């Protein structure tokens, strides 16, 4: 079966971002960009499904600027077969991204779509669920285990109280949580091979999708700073402070 | 304006996060209705009717809603939600699962994890793991919003007397089925509702050593959490993870034990009133946000702390 994986180009996990002085957003100039960590897990899961003989083809798609080709090439080096970039220089909201992905799903007809559960920049946690609504497919969000059998996929989900397992009819949408797998690193030969794999570029216009949004960002501020407190010398002093100064125990 | 709040519950019990979500609805202003969708939820509906400030409780009692499968619940919420100016749910794993599906069905953007209400159409929400706070404005006909519980003080669970109304809409979409669940059983308070949280990190070295934290927590009446490092290492289960992608907590007292303080962990606990850090590495970033830092071997400090509190 065909598996579609969506990936997003985001600020690298290790970068501590700073708010711009004019409060228009965060400063991303000269900041290292990477594939969203949850998307790496999504690519890895698709590659493992292919290694098990469950998946026959892996198509990776990204919605983003021209430079998102870098993240698509990374996914190709990790084992995806071909890539699609839906090029948009604008910062798009989750609903617009889900609509673009729906158009790609209509075109590609995958049996399984795997996405990260959230992007570490906008922290929205919406796109997979929205894509499921638009396609009418079942959704297995926050997955820590994915097992395809016949025309169903069993997804074990990380929920607040522990774990929940659901059986979904295929085609279905899965979003990844941290414990699903540990992504591999791309080998040098595979990085070289990835350069020759097909990468198609589309536009929202060509897909006939409007990316208009009902939400606008008015300003972006730094959070209230939390200053460092004091170092105590002993457990006894700590307990004393908690009882008499902070009055929390 | 009228606001539909989706109740968070276990069928038999209303979850505390519902009270924080109603508080956010009050900050927006307008008639507040609460939807209880589940199976055998009459006691939960009665509890919801008692919440201060709730005008009406809608009850959708159907086997198809028993496990909150989004394929079944989202169409119900979308259908009911059309009549409201706002649809709110707690940013729990359940709210996060269902509400974006509702928003897409209504063809509107969703605003995730608001921590403040500026006006009925303008909200504040953290982005980049809480390293920036965005103020966003929505022009959507129905504003679909998840609420971070720590941003809003819970309303009183008693004092209201809302009317209860049954709704018959919805059923099994036939796309998904519940197979099973493994829920952690604990007598300790729930992590996101606890007044005191004791969390352990990689410094705990193994799962067995978490017993020191359980003993301390039981003496303090605290919940026990963990950093991602501790969960990834298999010391403790995932539902204990505090951080950007785990649970967000803001207790009166947060005691971080053997936690270095990665930004992703700080995102989940830096709104705590008082933070204590115990770590043998005095350079650990956790000390930059701690009100009280103790540079010590946790295996000596924690038992001593347990004796003195």
Average pLDDT over residues A150-160: 96
Locate the chain B residue with the closest alpha carbon to A246.
Answer: B274
Residue B186, pLDDT score: 82
Contact (CB, 8 A) for B251 and B194: yes
Q: Which residue has the tokens 């200053």?
A: A227
User: What is the DSSP secondary structure assignment for residue B65, as one 8-state letter?
Assistant: G
d(C-alpha A25, C-alpha A23), whole Å: 6
Mutate to test the interface with A, among B117, B291, B303, B307 (most CBs of A within 10 A): B291
Query: Model confidence over A100-141: pLDDT tens digits?
Result: 999 999 999 999 999 999 999 999 999 999 999 999 999 999
Write the residue in A161, A169, A215 that is nearest to B176 by C-beta: A169
Residues of chain A with Cβ-Cβ distance to B291 below 8 Å are 229-230, 246
Q: Which of B149, B150, B158, B165 is nearest to B18 (CA)?
A: B149
Rounded to whole angstroms, what are the CA distances from B274 to A38, A118, A222, B93?
A: 31, 29, 21, 26
**All residues at 6 or more sequence positions from B300 whose CB lies less than 8 Å from its CB, including other chains:** none
Write the residue in B99, B131, B232 that is nearest to A16 by C-beta: B131
Binary contact (A98, B184; C-beta < 8 A): no
* DSSP labels, A40-77: HHHHHHHHHHHHTTS-SEEEEEEEE-GGGHHHHHHHHH
| Percent share of chain A, pLDDT over 90 | 94
Residue A224, pLDDT score: 86
Residue B28, pLDDT score: 98
Domains and CATH numbers, chain A: 2-245 (3.40.50.620)
| Percent share of chain A, pLDDT over 70 | 100
Cis, peptide link before residue A171, omega less than 30° from 0 = yes
Query: Model confidence over A54-88: pLDDT tens digits?
Result: 999 999 999 999 999 999 999 999 999 999 999 99
| pTM, 2 dp | 0.93
Burial class (CB in 10 A: 0-12, 13-18, 19+), A145: middle
* DSSP labels, A111-171: SEEEEES--TTT----HHHHHHHHHT-EEEEEEEEEEEETTEEEEEEEETTEEEEEEEESS
- Chain A: nearest CA to B163, how far in angstroms? 30
Give residue A31's pLDDT band: very low, low, confident or very high (50, 70, 90).
very high
Locate the chain B residue with the closest alpha carbon to A102.
Answer: B104
Write the residue in A125, A133, A235 that is nearest to B105 by C-beta: A133
Residue A227, pLDDT score: 79
- Chain A: nearest CA to B51, how far in angstroms? 23
Binary contact (A162, B237; C-beta < 8 A): yes
Locate the chain A residue with the closest alpha carbon to B271.
Answer: A226
Residue A228, pLDDT score: 79
Size of interface A-B (CB pairs under 8 A): 256
- Does the pLDDT at position A192 exceed 80? yes
**How would you write the pLDDT of chain B (309 residues) with one tens digit per residue?**
899 999 999 999 999 999 999 999 999 999 999 999 999 999 999 999 999 999 999 999 999 999 999 999 999 999 999 999 999 999 999 999 999 999 999 999 999 999 999 999 999 999 999 999 999 999 999 999 999 999 999 999 999 999 999 998 789 999 999 999 998 888 899 898 899 999 999 999 999 999 999 999 999 999 999 999 999 999 999 999 999 888 999 999 999 999 999 999 999 999 999 999 999 999 999 999 999 999 999 999 999 999 999
For the beta carbon of residue B79, count every other beta carbon within 10 angstroms.
15
Contact (CB, 8 A) for B287 and B293: yes
- Whether this model's ipTM surpasses 0.90 comes out as yes
Residues of chain B with Cβ-Cβ distance to A159 below 8 Å are 93-94, 181, 239
Query: Model confidence over A226-235: pLDDT tens digits?
Result: 877 999 999 9
Query: Model confidence over B131-182: pLDDT tens digits?
Result: 999 999 999 999 999 999 999 999 999 999 999 999 987 899 999 999 999 9
Alpha helices of B106-184 — where are they, by DSSP H?
none
For A216-225, letters b (16+ CB in 10 Å) and e give ebeebeebee
Q: What are phi and psi of A35, to 5 degrees?
A: -75, 135
Q: Where are the strands (E) in B132-193, listed by range?
A: 132-138, 143-147, 163-166, 176-183
Element (H, E) at B232: helix B228-232
- Pairing type for strands A162-169 and B176-183 reads antiparallel
Locate the chain A residue with the closest alpha carbon to B274.
Answer: A246
- Chain A: nearest CA to B262, how far in angstroms? 9
């Amino acid at each position: 079966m065909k598996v579609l994986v969506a990936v997003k180009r985001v600020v690298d996990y290790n970068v501590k971002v700073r708010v711009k002085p004019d409060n228009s957003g965060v400063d991303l100039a000269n900041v290292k960009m990477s594939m969203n960590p949850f998307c790496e897990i999504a690519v890895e899961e698709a590659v493992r499904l292919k290694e098990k003989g469950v998946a026959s083809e892996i198509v990776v798609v990204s919605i983003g600027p021209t430079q998102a080709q870098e993240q698509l090439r990374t996914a190709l080096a990790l084992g995806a077969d071909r890539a699609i970039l839906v090029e948009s220089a604008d910062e798009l909201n989750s609903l617009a991204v889900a609509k673009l992905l729906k158009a790609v799903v209509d075109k590609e007809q995958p049996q399984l779509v795997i996405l990260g559960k959230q992007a570490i920049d906008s922290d929205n946690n919406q796109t997979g669920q929205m894509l499921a609504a638009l396609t009418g497919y079942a959704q297995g969000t926050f997955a820590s285990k994915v097992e395809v059998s016949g025309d169903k996929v069993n997804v074990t989900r990380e929920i607040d109280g522990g774990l929940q397992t659901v059986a979904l009819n295929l085609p279905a949408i899965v979003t990844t949580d941290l414990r699903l797998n540990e992504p591999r690193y791309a080998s040098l030969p595979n990085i070289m091979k990835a350069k020759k794999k097909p990468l198609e570029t589309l536009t929202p216009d060509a897909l006939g999708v409007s990316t208009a949004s009902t939400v606008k960002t008015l300003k972006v501020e730094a959070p209230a700073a939390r200053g460092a407190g004091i170092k105590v010398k002993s457990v006894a002093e700590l307990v004393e402070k908690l009882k008499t100064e902070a009055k929390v125990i | 304006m009228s606001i539909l709040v989706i109740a968070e519950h276990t069928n038999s019990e209303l979850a505390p996060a519902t009270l924080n979500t109603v508080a956010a609805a009050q900050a927006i202003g307008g008639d507040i209705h609460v939807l209880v969708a589940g199976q055998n939820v009459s006691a939960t509906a009665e509890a919801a009717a008692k919440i201060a400030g709730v005008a009406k409780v809608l009850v959708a009692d159907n086997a198809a809603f028993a496990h909150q499968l989004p394929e079944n619940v989202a169409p119900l919420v979308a259908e009911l939600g059309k009549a409201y100016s706002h649809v709110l749910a707690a940013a729990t794993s359940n709210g996060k699962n269902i509400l974006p599906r509702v928003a897409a069905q209504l063809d509107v953007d969703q605003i995730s994890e608001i921590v403040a209400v500026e006006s009925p159409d303008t909200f504040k929400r953290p982005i980049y793991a809480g390293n920036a706070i965005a103020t966003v404005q929505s022009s959507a006909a129905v504003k679909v919003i998840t609420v971070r519980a720590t941003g809003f003080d819970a309303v009183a669970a008693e004092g209201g007397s809302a009317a209860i109304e049954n709704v018959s809409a919805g059923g099994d979409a036939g796309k998904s089925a519940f197979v099973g669940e493994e829920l952690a059983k604990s007598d300790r308070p729930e992590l996101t509702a606890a007044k005191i949280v004791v969390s352990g990190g990689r410094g705990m070295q193994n799962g067995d050593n978490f017993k020191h934290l359980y003993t301390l927590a039981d003496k303090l009446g605290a919940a026990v959490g963990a950093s991602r490092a501790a969960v990834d290492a298999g010391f403790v289960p995932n539902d204990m993870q505090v951080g950007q992608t785990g649970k967000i907590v803001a207790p009166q007292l947060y005691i971080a034990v053997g936690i270095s303080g990665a930004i992703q962990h700080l995102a989940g606990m830096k709104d705590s009133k008082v933070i204590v850090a115990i770590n043998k590495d005095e350079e650990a970033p956790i000390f930059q946000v701690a009100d009280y830092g103790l540079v010590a071997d946790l295996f000596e400090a924690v038992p001593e702390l347990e004796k003195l509190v």
